[in-house]
């Protein structure tokens, strides 16, 4: 029997959000980012407003600004070859920590704690 890995379900990470669409916004995942799962913690690129990538643990040349977590991806996407417009959760929400996905460079508890603090600063409480 073949092992099958389930993908993170869209918005499964949310415990609560503000009424209406207050907690959500539109953004772009730039081409070349690859496949990004729902629940991925994102940072915004300084060079291109509204463009988000998985938030790395520290500054990366060419991806300045993304090291600060500001949002969570609502639905999984494939931005391998082209920009993809996405929905993000960027304020007034609560998220399940165990359902979040972090950039591969966020590889220990202090780095995870830093991302959680950054999300808290924009109004996303991680529990």
Domain layout of the chain by residue ranges:
14-126
The predicted pLDDT at position 7 comes to 58
103-122 pLDDT, tens digit each: 999 999 999 999 999 999 99
Residues with Cβ < 8 Å from 58, sequence gap 6 or more?
A: 67, 105
Q: What is the pTM of this model?
A: 0.90
CATH class in words for 14-126: mainly beta
When pLDDT is cut at 50, 70 and 90, the band that residue 20 belongs to is confident
Q: How far apart are CA 28 and CA 7, in angstroms?
A: 21
Count the Cβ atoms, other than its own, within 10 Å of residue 65.
19
- Helix, strand, or coil here: 98? helix
């Amino acid at each position: 029997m073949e092992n099958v890995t389930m993908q993170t379900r869209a918005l499964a990470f949310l415990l609560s959000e503000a009424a209406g669409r207050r907690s959500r916004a539109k953004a772009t995942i730039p081409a070349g980012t690859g496949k990004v799962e729902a629940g991925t913690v994102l940072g915004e690129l300084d060079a291109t407003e509204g463009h988000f990538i998985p938030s790395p643990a520290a500054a990366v040349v060419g991806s300045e600004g993304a090291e600060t977590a500001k949002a969570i991806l609502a639905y999984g996407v494939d931005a391998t070859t082209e920009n993809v417009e996405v929905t993000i959760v960027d304020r007034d929400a609560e998220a399940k920590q165990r359902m979040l996905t972090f950039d591969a460079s966020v590889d220990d508890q202090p780095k995870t704690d830093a991302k959680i603090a950054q999300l808290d600063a924009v109004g996303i409480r991680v529990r």
